Structure 1
């Protein structure tokens, strides 16, 4: 009887750990999909917008950009134009030299002040 109880306890522990692992995997996949939905931009959009375009028009073509990877995307890029507000995205294009490309859009006074493209660090 003692062996049977030990086996049941072991099975219960394994079940709880398995369910916990499944929840962690689902949560992680949700975060990855959330990041992709908010930070990926087609290179055609980058090429289509021009400096001086209205901020509302440009932002209408972009996802929100609010993601937990925002800090990592800022690293390694050129200095931000003074007085501007910037948004960072990952290009959906093919990696260049094995590195993903960051697309940065900076706005000032209601217009696109600068756009920059650089490899992710």
Structure 2
């Protein structure tokens, strides 16, 4: 009887751990999909916008960019222009030499002041 009770307890613990891992997996996938939805930009959009374009029109073509990976996207890029406000995004296109491409858009005085493309480090 004691042996059977121990087996039931062990199975119960395994079940709880399995359900917990499944919940973490679903939560993690949700975060990844949320990040992709907020940070991916089509290379055609990057090519279409030009410096001097009105900020509101450019931002209307871009996702929000508010994700937990924003700090990582900043690394390895060129210096930010003085007095500008920048936003960073991942390219939805193919990788180049095995590296993801980062698109940076910097705005100043209501216009797109600079855009940069560089590999993510």
Alignment of 1:1-121 (within 5 A): 1-121=1-121
Deviations 1:9-67 (A, max 9, x none): 00100010001100110010011001000000000000000000000000000000000
Other structure's SS at 1:86 match: strand
Pairwise CA RMSD of aligned residues? 0.4
Unaligned 5+ segments in structure 1 are none
- State the shift of 1:93 in Å: 1.0
How many residues in Structure 1 have an aligned counterpart in Structure 2?
121
Q: Which runs of 4+ in 1 moved over 2 A?
A: none
Unaligned 5+ segments in structure 2 are none
Other structure's SS at 1:8 match: helix
Deviations 1:69-95 (A, max 9, x none): 000000000000000000000001111
Q: Give TM-score, length-normalised by structure 2.
A: 0.99
